[in-house]
Structure 1
Amino acid sequence: MTVPTAAAVFDPRLDLELKREVSVPPRLLWRAWTEPDLLMKWFTPAPWRTTACEIDLKPGGKFRTVMEGPNGERNDNMGCFLAVEHEKLLVFTSALGPGYRPTDNGFMTASVIFEPTAEGTLYTAIALHKDEAAKKTHEDMGFHLGWNTALDQLVALAKDL
């Protein structure tokens, strides 16, 4: 399968990537990414929790999550979808809100690509950053551990769907 054209092109100077083959078909991963009640069960690495989620699954549509930490931390993340290709691709950003309205807190743009394989899905997540400092900040926040943990939680949930 070819990567959807709206997917991000990875630049190692500016971007972070998680690529893993998982033993779940794309349709189940898609459901867990696009149904708010399911996304809230896996999206945030434990012990953090996702306590709210709003999804308007279309380009320009709202993508909002609220993440809460074990010590009372709270992150309310508002953004919008830039591209939606059913069971293949999601692209979303915090640089724009619903209806493509600019925000003041753009942190990243992310692509999540679902490619079917004989074993399940080649899952690729790419986080794009505006500069090397933003990439480093995200890396220091624990991108690799956090996104891998969330993916493990996603796979466990999807296997039960």
Structure 2
Amino acid sequence: MNPDLDLVLERVIRAPRAVVWDAWTDPARLAQWWVPAPSRCRVERLELRAGGAFVTRLSDGGEFGPHLDACFLDVEERRRIVFTNAIDSTWRPARPAPVAMTATITLDDHPDGTDYRMLVRHGDPDARARHDKLGFADGWGTVAGQLAALVEGS
């Protein structure tokens, strides 16, 4: 972790790692928590493998519009998901708004369930600062909370 380039959030989710993994890998379940409520998410492509597409759309009450057009870089079953929006779902270089990033989601066993870690890497300090100022902790923290609410007690 490079504090000049990276943002990180961690939390314990009180559910087994397999249950958290399933909420990430099932498009219908992912759509339930991937964007902050009351916005809605539609998962268009979820090809969970290195090189696979990750495309979601977002609605704030109206039509669905673009949200994320990304590519999975690495997937380690029930342990780690790495994706980037710097390459789109067709493997073309991208200039995503508001920032290009590479996210690593890590799931580890914890005595109370799953240690859920979100590490988001940026290409330069300005991109990191922009993402932080736009509400990284609030937004990513909110969706992690929504994920926890979905799976805890499952």
Q: TM-score, normalised by structure 1?
A: 0.86
Q: For 1:55 and 1:73, locate their aligned partners in 2 and report how far apart those are by CA, in whole Å.
A: 17
Query: Aligned residue for 1:95?
Result: 86
Q: For 1:54 and 1:72, locate their aligned partners in 2 and report how far apart those are by CA, in whole Å.
A: 18
CA-based RMSD: 1.9
| Percent identical residues | 35
Q: For 2:50 and 2:91, locate their aligned partners in 1 and report how far apart those are by CA, in whole Å.
A: 9
Q: For 1:136 and 1:68, locate their aligned partners in 2 and report how far apart those are by CA, in whole Å.
A: 26
Q: How many residues align?
A: 152
Query: Aligned residue for 2:53?
Result: 62
> Structure 2: any 5+ residue segments left out of the alignment?
none
Cα distance 1:144–1:93, how it changes in 2: closer, same or farther (>3 A)? same
Query: Aligned residue for 2:27?
Result: 36
Q: For 1:132 and 1:66, locate their aligned partners in 2 and report how far apart those are by CA, in whole Å.
A: 28
Over residues 12-54 of structure 1, what are the superposed CA-to-partner deviations in whole Å (9 max), with x where a residue is unaligned?
Answer: 1111100112211111111111111110000101122213331
Whether 1:26 and 2:23 are equivalent positions in the alignment is no
Whether 1:140 and 2:133 are equivalent positions in the alignment is yes
Letter in 1 for 2:92: R
Over residues 66-109 of structure 1, what are the superposed CA-to-partner deviations in whole Å (9 max), with x where a residue is unaligned?
Answer: 12235778333111100100110000000112364322336110
> Structure 1: any 5+ residue segments left out of the alignment?
1-9
Cα distance 1:139–1:74, how it changes in 2: closer, same or farther (>3 A)? farther
Q: TM-score, normalised by structure 2?
A: 0.89
Q: For 1:53 and 1:119, locate their aligned partners in 2 and report how far apart those are by CA, in whole Å.
A: 33
